[in-house]
Structure formats: structure tokens, C-alpha cells
Structure 1
Amino acid sequence: MSFKRTLLACTLAVAGAAMAQQAPTEIQMWMGLTGPSGELLSRFGDDFNKSQNEYRVVVSFKGQYPEQRAAAVAAFRAGNPPHIMQMFDAGSGDMVQARGAIIPVSEVFKRANIRFDPADFIAPARGYYGLPNGDLLSMPFNVSTAVLFYNKDAFRKAGLNPDQPPRTWPELIDAAGKIRATNAAPCGFTTTWLAWIMLEQYNSRHNVQMGTLGNGRGGLGASLTVSNPMNERMVQTLVDMQKDKRFDYGGRSNDAAAKFISGECAMLTQSSGGLGAIARDAKFEFGTAQLPYWPDVKGAPYATTIGGASLWVFNAPNRTDHEFRGVAKFLDFLRSDKVMTEWAKATGFLPATNSAFKAMKDEGFFEKNPGRDVPILSLIEGAKGEHTNGYRFGRWTEIRDVYHEEVERALQGRQSAKQAMVNFERRGNALLRAFERSAN
């Protein structure tokens, strides 16, 4: 070999080695999940990293969703936000108004020249996270809705049919009374996520307006309309049931799940995503049913609404097209049938895509696992109404806490159910006006 050819071969070898040793581009993803779901999402990041060597995804827990959102806003202002952030449904209104910080996920895929059709996702998820032109703001991932879990062993002990869970609120109230009368459990019923279930899901279940401008989806300027007989009725029901432990308050977030898993409470309203922990830790046979409704409400039961979280893409001053392509490739990996079906089977969250749902049906998963289709049927088969497509209010996490405070005062006997809702609407609207001032 000539000297020139030898030199060229050596040069190419060195260049190839340098390229091989070049570190993959890092993609930061922040998640708000812990426990088995958080572990599985982290593993998906590892699986993606093993599937290629161009990018390295780092999945990190940065606190619960509200804390994570605050940290991401601070990071954006400092110029170094995560590439992807998992944000719960209640934060959608804030994210929409984060001008310049967020790039709609449809646009991210378009930039990367990777096929992305919002119609691939189940209709309730498209509706919740969609834009008027049909594009998606964020990618639905851990999709859930509220369901009723019930202890079949406690039902048998109380003389109730374990295969006939309560469908309506009167039936649930009656079942809770029989459970207490027979001491089948120390508590008849409890709930997690008080505002999400007893306000947001409850209003969707009965097609009741929560606020003007399409429940805030029409943009800034919406006002809450929650001080009404339907919401007063729900609060009063909880106040009445707690007097004899037919209902036992378990806190504002997910803590009440422990009351059900331990056998203390025989019924629990909870996110369908809570199924994994119940299946792992409960020492009794349990069932899953749709959220109760008041049968005297015309048209009920209406569909429940989407919960869980979606994946948002952050912008940043020095973020490159190469990085955005890595974001799109990882999101494309997460929406694959392989990942979506494993995610849904392991966690109790719903398959977010139509093809994943079909794949699970075709393999007989729902037939082999009775009750696992309950949440998706609640979303898809329930009647659709003007107010069943979710909401999009700014500062909703804070507004939720106002609801908690006012309902807790009612549960403590410090005010009526009516006064609780009057105060909640007034204080919530004040927060909406403050949000508008900060957004302008």
C-alpha cells in the first residue's frame, strides 16, 4: 500500500473511532411518578437507550407534579428546562399559557419528519390535550379516569352481591350503610383525590358546567360556575355519610388508598392507575366498577373525563434540531404498541392509543382480566355532553386546594355545603383573575 493510501486509511480509522466514541446526545425527561409506575417509566428510558446509540434519555423524578412544574418553570427561566416533562391534567391550563416555553408535540414530530397522527390516540385523550386545528399540545401517556374499587369479601360479609357493585350514589350509600350495620368493615367508603373525583369527574359524569368559555378551554377570561345545587348535593352527601363512618375522609391526595388496601374501608373511588398497587398489596378479592352517578339527573351517566398525565416538550434558547429529533424519537418509542400495552397491563393506566387498545382486546387481555376495561368503557361508552371534554383553567392546582379547604370546613361542621361552594367559587375566580394578570 502506498504512503498516501496508508495515511488516508489511518485518517479514516481515527475519524471513525472518534465518531464511535462521541457521547450520545442527552435528552432529559422529568416525571412525576413514584413506585412501580415510576420504575417502569425509568426502565422504558433504559430500553430506548439500548435500542440505539445516538441519544441517551435520562428519566428523573423531580417531585410530585406541582413541585415539578415549579422547578421546570424556574429551569426554563434559567435557560435549561428538561426536554420532556410529564405533567398531570390539572396543570394543562398553566402549560398552555406558558408562551414560548412549550412546543406542541405535533410540531415536534413535524420538525423531526416522523409520522404523527393525533387520530392514533383514543378520542377522549385527543379531546383533552388537543388544539382546535386537531394538533396535540402534549402526548397522552399515563391516561386514567376515576373508578370505584370495592372489596368483594366485605360485600359478602355484609350480605351484598359481590358481582353487583353499586352503579348509582343511592346504591353506594345503601351499600355503605349495610357494611357498617354488619361491621363488615370499619368504614364503608372513602375517596382519593377529593377535588379531582368529587368535583371534576363528578361534574363530567353529570354533564355539569364547571366554568364559562367551555370550562376554560376557550382561553383566558373564564369564570367558575361551581356554586350550584349539584355540587352542594355531593358535599352534603359526604357530610351526612361521615356521621356514622359510611364515609371516612382520607385526605386531599392518594393517602385514602391505604384505607382500602388495608381493608379498613370497603369501597374506594380512585384513579384507575391505582390498580397496580391494589392488586399487589390487597389481601382480599376486589372488583372494579364505573364511577357512581345520580340517576335522577337527565341523561346520566355521562362519560367521565381524562386524568393522569401527558408529556410536554420544552423549548430553550440553545436547543438544537438534533435534540428535538431525539425527543421525537423517544416519544415515538413510548407510543409504540409494545410500550403502551406493557404500560397499561402493568400499571392500570389506560392504553392511550387505539392500536394498543385493539391489541389488548385481540389477545383477550380484558376477557382474562375482568374489570380492566371498566375505565376505558367509562370514557368511551358514557354519554357525551357539552361539559364532558375536560377543562383548562390556570392555577388549577391552587384552585383545587381552595376546594379542599372549603369542603374540609363543611366536613368539620364549620359551614354548610352551600356556603362551601359559594366560598370556593368566589376564591377560585379570584385566582383565575390573578392568573390572567400574570399571563398578560
Structure 2
Amino acid sequence: METLTLEAVGKTPAEEKGIETLASAQTQLARAVALLGYDEGTHEMLRRPRRELQVSVPLRRDDGTVRVFSGYRVQHNLSRGPAKGGVRFDAGVSLDEVRALAMWMTWKCALLDLPYGGAKGGVAIDPRDFSTSELERVTRRYTSEIMPIIGPQRDIPAPDIGTDETTMAWMMDTFSVNNGFTVSGVVTGKPISIGGSLGRSSATSEGLFHVALAALKEEGIRVDQARVAIQGFGKVGAEAARLLAEAGARIQALSDRYGAIYAASGIDVSSLTSHVARTGTLVGFGGAEPIEHAQLLELSGDLLIPAAVEGVLTSDNASAVSARIIVEGANGPTTADADRILEERGIVVVPDILANAGGVLVSYFEWVQAHQAYRWSAREVDERLRGRMLEAWSLVRSRSSRDSLSLRDAATAMAVERVADAHRIRGLYP
């Protein structure tokens, strides 16, 4: 099947990237639809977002000047339950990017058999350029603008790139104040003190870790002999590096937005974490040598984890990738063209909708706890996370073997099938 293309003439770089990201998501869906034999009407229903909201987000800066940013919230599908998905603050946020991310959230929730549809949101702002008080005002204004379509039974936001538990606290408070009472379940990823779940902050990395170990085992690679490269040393990459290092893996390469480092004998992740806490970057770490960002993706090794942003593995570099296994920590890090090249080369790609689903899984646990007004122990959360992630891995691996599909095609087909079944059973109104 040919890769879908969308018109990108006269667009900004962020808009062009969003168009490419959406094209990759739509190509993956088209492949699943073809595999499942669905008609064009079903394909169109699955392809189109259920609801989109684009808003202006004005900000009065600390110096009294006013800036206006674009904000978005896209609800892709609601057939299996309320929408669920993160909010990112990033200068590159665009409507097409959010559309793609919302679609992937639909498949991710369905694959993990969560009673959610997919959503995503964001504001086109670089949080590094603004004070804490300015970011609070942006968050509260954005929340007030999307308030008509969010809620614990409608759409439940969570943290993503450029946002964190503090952002979620501001969102929850804004929603609650406007409703006249505390609504804990309106967001997930909150601080523990106001209804967050134990284990949520590390959930994406924990889930990634369990799936990575399963993939290594499947390929006959002992974790204590595995050579690992991780792109991104943020919320997901840093914790994944720690977990894999503690399990005995050799972390040879890491990167952040400022630079990349390599050590053939392995990087001391604990020392690096201390260095980053002091300096704000892994650049300048004495226990490794600097390399180019592009080199990290092409290093010879057993496991590559792209855990930064979408669209980093493309037709331009996929032929040079040397890792035996790729486990996608970011959303959409591999374009459709790169996917085809990697599959032809026999490189195992564990798709994002499975590999990084630990975050939304524990967000679901947090939402359930909010409805119960009860907190689970860290052990309960960890055990349920591991069990659900490995169950999903086993089902995807079985479907892949049974139907001779890549892991991505198997996972996407399973997820799309569940969403389509829900839509069919509910019927079309009116």
C-alpha cells in the first residue's frame, strides 16, 4: 500500500511536520482497514476525528505585554468511552499533529482494552521561554477555553511534552472552580496530594521497560548482554535508562535536545542523572564522549528506544539503523516509509501504541481511583501495570505470528477492530 501524502505547500515547518505525522497515522490506519477488509464508509468513520476545537489563548505576560497562542483539543473517537489523551506545550504544536496523536490514542486505549476513546491537545508555546506564573495563566485560560468539551465522563486530559503534574493541578483547579466543587477525575497525572495515583509519573517508562524485556527475550537476547541507545533523556527516556541499567543492560548512548553522548563500555546512568540535575543537560558529562544526534539512531546495538518526538526515523535514515530491536517510547517516531524499510530489513519494531501505553494505563487506574475515592498501593499499581502490558504484548505477538504481520500491523489491526466493533454494536444515530 502506498504511503498517504497530504498537501504541505506554503506551510510553516511545524505545520509541515504535522502534515507528515498525520499522513503516517492515516497510512497505518489504511493498512489496518485493508487487512480487516472494511468498507470505505467504516474507513472514513475511523479516519475522521469526532470533534475538533481550535482556540486562541491570550496571555498577559509578567511585563504587561500580551501574546496570543493557538490551542487545540481533538477528540478522535468516542465509541468505547470518554476521550483520553495528553496536553502538550510545544512551539511546534499544530492541528494536524494533534489529529494524528489523538488517532494514536484511540488505538492505544483500544489495544490495552481501556474504556476510552482517543484525544489530544496542546498549545503552540515553548514553555522554556516563560515564567511559572505565565505558564499558569496560559494553562488556566486554555482550560477555560476547552472546558465545554472536557470532564471526567467526556474527555480526561493528562501530561505530555512540556507539561507535568503541576499543569494538571492547574487544569483540575480551573475546571473545579468553574463547577463549584472539586472534580478530581477531570485530569490524570495529578500530584498525589490532590488525587494522583502512585506510580503514575514513571508509568510510561515502567511499561516500556516490561515490553522491552519481553522483546529482548523473544529475540534471544539476555538483558545483561544488551547494548542500548535511547534518544531522549526526559520523563520517559531517563527513567527507562535507569530501569534497564539496573536490570543489567549496557546503556551506550543517550541524548537530549542539546546533544548526544556515547560510551562503548556503558554510561553510568546514576552519575549522568546527577549531572543533568546540576546542569540541565547531559552535554558535558565526563563519563562519555559527545556524538551527533543522528549518529545515535544508527549505532550498532541490540535495542534502540526513540523516546523524544515523532518523525525521527524516516526514509532518509532507516537504511542506516543498525539496532536489532526498536521499542518506540515516543508517539509516532517512525514514519510510514521508514516502517516499510525497517520491516524489509528484518528489524523488529515494537509500536508506540503498545510500547508506551503504560502512561495511559496508569492514568486509567488513577481515574478509577478517583471514582472510588480510594487509593491503591504502589505495589497494586505496579503489579496491574506489568500484568496488563505483558498481556497486551502476548496478544500482539500471537496475532503477528498467526497472520504473518509486523508487530505494528498486528497491534493496529487489533485496536481498529475493537473500535469498529464498538461502533457497530452501538449503531449509527439517528
Structure scoring higher RCO (CA < 8 A, sep ≥ 6) equals: 1
Instruction: Report the TM-score, using the length of structure 1 for normalisation.
Output: 0.31
Q: Which is higher, the Rg of structure 1 or of structure 2?
A: 1
